[in-house]
Amino acid sequence: LSPTELQVLRRISELRTNRQIAEEFFISIRTVENHRFKICQKLKLRGNHALLKFSLDHKEKIRANCDEL
């Protein structure tokens, strides 16, 4: 994943909404949706539920990777 996608994934694991993520990064909600879509493609996940479950299951690993950036 790209550094931005990792940051978005981290916010998803923190249960942030698309609107909250967009406001934090000063991007549009549509851009957040695009990042979510790309993350799902790269991780071979289908849908928002699978993405949320993945992010919660791997929360510590995601946080560690984001802290390295």
Report how far residue 20's alpha carbon sits from residue 14's, in angstroms, rounded to the nearest whole number. Answer: 11
The total number of residues shown for the chain amounts to: 69
pLDDT in tens, 9-64: 999 999 999 999 999 999 999 999 999 999 999 999 999 999 999 999 999 999 99
Report how far residue 48's alpha carbon sits from residue 43's, in angstroms, rounded to the nearest whole number. Answer: 12
pLDDT in tens, 48-59: 999 999 999 999
Q: Residue 69 has what pLDDT?
A: 63
8-state DSSP, 47? S
